Structure 1
């Protein structure tokens, strides 16, 4: 059985843990009324804030740049006011059905919590239950399609990095070579910094 957390670390290389701070996680979790999946927190602590392969953004609760708490609050407000149900065609692509929710809310303990996004318009959420899987991943693709992934965040990220269709309809894209990591400025006047994971032989 694949250890997807180790597999993700192998693809991304050694983490820098620039903002790892248990107190920041605790404060955010108390605000939301639920804990985040452990593998997600380990990945975020190791690398975030970061943009991976030029598209997928992970934020951190202790960073002033791309702050996870601020991102969750602002994104949840946008989603709550959106026509999120406009592209639903039936129970298979209805997050209320595959997450077993009587109604859909965002940024709440019972609903969907936005945890990552792409610059191509996809949004990634964690939900308490996805097709019966605890702390599964829900994605709203750039085309408006909803899909539930009954798997850990680490597995979802690994599959995304190896080119599977994980960010919505027709989203499969494999980037050969080492995974690219782009770190935002650590403070005013500082440049964006780029790094790469180890050679994958691809």
Structure 2
């Protein structure tokens, strides 16, 4: 199952970014050699570069240098390709089948990565890595399902109700 944008909006609130120009995505996808999953693109296009619950950072490819998905991915790929960092993930980072593409971070020390499917008909999966330990968790769910679980307060590694005791919220990144 893939959670829908209306399900996410019902918990997070109405999106106010509503990006419709595919050019930044096309440019980033051509550079990286992948096509991001539609649910991830739809959510990021709706909300833009935001911080959710004062904790989870999502960025848009049309963002400025401080909060640009492309800039963040480039830096994270470089970081995760370092020899001493690679051991903290279940597979290498990159755009090939089975590899991991970093797409989000959390102020609580986690990295959210999407596992590139082994074949085009397979779904993308979410891997969350905890920077303060060698632990990582593979979630057999799409990005939208993972985000919906997070918004509902389920333990998907990046989850602390202390940051949103009154329910999910978001704010634009400056």
**CA–CA separation in structure 1 for the residues paired with 2:106 and 2:83:** 18
- Correspondent of 1:129 among 117, 136, 139: 117
Change (3 A) 1:10 1:78: same
Aligned residues: 167
Helix, strand or coil at the partner of 2:138: strand
In structure 1, list runs of 5 or more residues that go unmatched. 88-93, 97-103, 186-202
CA contact (8 A) 1:127 1:135 kept: yes
In structure 2, list runs of 5 or more residues that go unmatched. none
Deviation, structure 1 residue 14: 1.5
1:5-154 aligned at under 5 Å gives the runs 5-17=5-17, 19-64=19-64, 65-81=66-82, 83-84=84-85, 86=87, 95-96=90-91, 104=92, 106-110=93-97, 111-129=99-117, 134-142=123-131, 143-154=133-144
**CA–CA separation in structure 1 for the residues paired with 2:100 and 2:12:** 27
**CA–CA separation in structure 2 for the residues paired with 1:133 and 1:163:** 27
Larger RCO, structure (CA 8 Å, separation 6 or more): 2
CA contact (8 A) 2:128 2:137 kept: yes
For normalisation by structure 2, the TM-score amounts to 0.84
CA offset digits 1:140-165 (Å, max 9, x no partner): 02432111111111110111122222
For normalisation by structure 1, the TM-score amounts to 0.73
The two structures, once aligned, show a CA RMSD in angstroms of: 2.3
Helix, strand or coil at the partner of 2:124: strand
Higher Rg of the two aligned structures: 1
Change (3 A) 1:53 1:82: farther
